[in-house]
Amino acid sequence: MSKSVLLVEDEPNIIEAISFLLERDGWTVRIHSDGTSAVEAVGRVAPDVLVLDVMLPGRSGFEILRDLRRDEALSHLPILMLTARGQTKDRELAKSYGVSHFMTKPFSNEEMVSTVRALYAGAQAG
């Protein structure tokens, strides 16, 4: 059975890079680029891991994260947040909403793949 990632990101070059890395590692990658409907997309796709950008059209990744954690069915979904700004207050806000891991762009290819793998493994064990 294939492991799936939902990538909620609106920058085409980042979508392409992350999709390539994860597909090469054996993941099925689905893309969603709009913050407004991201929570519905997560419910519809039911990914094993969510990669969520902070800056999205319509709604911020923080708002999406907060809503996902309030939904009992999605409260344990492993969520990796990506941001171009790695400021402490952003990390603290993400942590307060229940993010699984926070990563600053640019990230290394190995960091992306190993983090997604670790989040998946942790969810399977938990």
* Domain boundary assignment for the chain: 3-125
The answer to whether the predicted template modeling score (pTM) of the entire model surpasses 0.95 is: yes
**Is the pLDDT score of 10 beyond 80?**
yes
**Is the pLDDT score of 49 beyond 80?**
yes
Instruction: State the Cα–Cα distance between residues 34 and 36, nearest whole angstrom.
Output: 6
pLDDT 10s digits, 63-121: 999 999 999 999 999 999 999 888 999 999 999 999 999 999 999 999 999 999 999 99
Q: So what CATH class is 3-125?
A: alpha beta
Q: What does the pLDDT read at residue 85?
A: 83
Across the chain, mean pLDDT equals 96
Q: What does the pLDDT read at residue 2?
A: 85
Instruction: State the Cα–Cα distance between residues 48 and 27, nearest whole angstrom.
Output: 10
Instruction: Using a pLDDT cut of 70, give the percent of the chain over it.
Output: 100
Instruction: State the Cα–Cα distance between residues 69 and 42, nearest whole angstrom.
Output: 12
Quick count: other Cβ atoms within 10 Å of Cβ 51?
A: 26
Q: 3-class SS at 26?
A: coil
The answer to whether 2 touches 26, Cβ cutoff 8 Å, is: yes
**Is the pLDDT score of 1 beyond 80?**
no
